Structure 1
Amino acid sequence: MDIRPIKTEQDYNAAISRIEELLGAKMDTPEGDEFDLLVTLVEFYEMKHYPIAPPDPIDAIKFRMEQMVLTKADMVQYLGSQSRVSEILNKKRGLTLSMIKSLYKGLKIPAEILLA
């Protein structure tokens, strides 16, 4: 097992290829340990070179609504009146701090996403 830091795209591609070869390796074996190490290195490289931007707050709300099968009428308790819900979901009005707190508590949407 010759594991080194992933510094280039070529190193990254080689690590991905090796991970594919090691898929299904049993835990607590040399191959399983190699797999775990390579996955960790690849994740670190990807976080550094391919960062994922946080989602748009309104898209996050819509996604949670989809997950929980909520309607616009269900959102009144978190955002205010029906017209306010429409304004928020159509991005014509921003979220207030009280709305953010309500969405965080009621729908468990992370505050850092809602504050973006």
Structure 2
Amino acid sequence: MNIQPVISKGDHRSALKRIESLMEKGNKTKEEEIELETLFILVEKYEDEHFIILPPNPIDAIKFRLEQEGLSQTDFAKILGSKHRASEYLNKKIPLSIQAIRRIRDSLGISGDILIQKYATKK
């Protein structure tokens, strides 16, 4: 077992290739299991530091959740209590209000941390 730190793109590629080969292998030895687990940890640490994933835009998150749940804009309007307001939000005409954020969080289960983010509106 020759495990090295993952500190560069090349190290990352090599570690991923090794992980893939170990994953495809049927009966792994105890040493290979330890190597695989260690590589997972090293790759995860590297990716956490180098592949920053920004939270989604609040409106994109709402549209995604509506799609996941098989809900329409009409369903969204029922959550908010207004067809006009639902349209304004989904078309980014106005920012989400605190009341809307609470209703969306409670009804669709989207984190308030995502919903409170600023986003550009179209005037």
Residues 1:18 and 1:96: Cα distance change in structure 2 (over 3 Å): same
| Aligned residues: CA RMSD | 1.7
Count of aligned pairs: 116
Aligned to 2:96: 95
CA contact (8 A) 1:3 1:38 kept: yes
User: For residues 76 and 31 of structure 1, what CA distance do their matches in structure 2 show?
Assistant: 54
Question: What TM-score comes out, normalization by structure 2 length?
Answer: 0.84
Question: What TM-score comes out, normalization by structure 1 length?
Answer: 0.89
Q: What percent identity do the matched residue pairs reach?
A: 42
User: For residues 54 and 21 of structure 2, what CA distance do their matches in structure 1 show?
Assistant: 30
Aligned to 2:121: none
1:1-116 aligned at under 5 Å gives the runs: 1-25=1-25, 29-116=30-117
Q: Deviations over 1:93-115 (max 9, x none)?
A: 11111111111111111111111
User: For residues 27 and 20 of structure 1, what CA distance do their matches in structure 2 show?
Assistant: 13
User: For residues 82 and 3 of structure 2, what CA distance do their matches in structure 1 show?
Assistant: 58
Q: List runs of 5+ in structure 1 lacking aligned partners.
A: none
CA contact (8 A) 1:72 1:86 kept: yes
Q: List runs of 5+ in structure 2 lacking aligned partners.
A: 118-123
Shift of 1:38: 0.7
Deviation >4 Å, runs of 4+: 25-28
Shift of 1:27: 7.4
